[in-house]
Structure 1
Amino acid sequence: MSAADGHDPRACSDGNCEIAVSEPVTFRFQGPGGPATLSVTEVGPDRIEYTVKSANGRTQGGASGPGQGCVTVLRDNGSGNSCGGLSGTRPSAQPDAVVIQATTGPDGTALLRMVAP
């Protein structure tokens, strides 16, 4: 799976990146309400699980199956998740929010995209 920023989670520190993840990793980024972390807790063939923590709480996402994934919208006053078929979609920037998209991959590599305003 090819990603614009390769496999380097440091590319996500500003809330904008596209990386491929093939093992659990935790990294910090700038959320709308201050520092936040994203922890990929499990990744495998057509599977991803992750947790996002910020000053305003914590949210989890997870998906399994070909072309499946989750979108998390992190705002200053909370967050929300939506999971399902994501094959070929890209997240759009939203005002005062960081949008995180995690999509499964058949080879055990998941694609993470983050978009900040």
Structure 2
Amino acid sequence: MPEPSVSAADGDDIRACADGNCEVAVTKPVTVRFQGPGGAVTLSVTEVGQNKIEYTVKSGNGQAKGGVSGRDRACVTSLRKNGSDTSCGGAGRTRPSPQPDAVVIQASTGPDATALLHVAF
């Protein structure tokens, strides 16, 4: 498995996301489950490549997808009890701020098939 090229507060330990709060570097598809405002949440990073990341978030009957490619790009998904929204564009390297009654997920591209994943709850 390739070593992550970016530093993250929780390294590459995806298990750190199990509490709904983490910053991890990912180099391959991974899945993490945790409790969100509307119950169980499943976050699946489905593809990681050079300057590319795609993911799916499922909670209850809802599902959101995000994906972006290009240098310094990111998607942010806010997941609430009664819905979600996703926005993609230029990447900020700052952690997303927790929001009341929401899980915020930011997925940022990296130059050598390493993406940065932030989860804030």
TM-score (norm 2): 0.92
CA distance in 1, matches of 2:71, 2:65: 20
RMSD: 0.9
- Matched with 1:70 is 75
Residue 54 of structure 1 aligns to which amino acid in structure 2? S
- Alpha-carbon distance in structure 2 between the residues aligned to 1:109 and 1:52: 20
Give, in angstroms, the shift of residue 11 of structure 1: 0.5
Provide structure 1 residue ranges, at least 5 long, that are not aligned to the other structure: none
Query: Percent of aligned pairs with the same residue?
Result: 69
Task: Give the Å deviation of 1:30.
Answer: 1.4
Superposed CA offset, 1:35-68 (max 9, x none)? 1101111000000000000014101000000100
Residue 90 of structure 1, CA deviation: 2.6
Equivalenced residues, count: 116
Which amino acid in the other structure matches residue 78 of structure 1? G
Gaps of 5+ in 2: 1-5
Give the TM-score, by structure 1 length.
0.96
1:13 match: secondary structure = helix
1:29 aligned partner, one-letter code: F
8 A contact 1:56–1:76 mirrored in 2 = no
C-alpha distance in structure 1 between counterparts of 2:117 and 2:98, whole Å: 15
State the match for 1:23 in structure 2. Answer: 28
Q: Does the 8 Å contact 1:56/1:78 carry over to 2?
A: no
AA matched with 2:83? G
Q: Which whole-Å CA distance do the structure 2 matches of 1:93 and 1:87 have between them? A: 15
Q: CA deviation at 1:115?
A: 0.6
1:55 is matched with 60
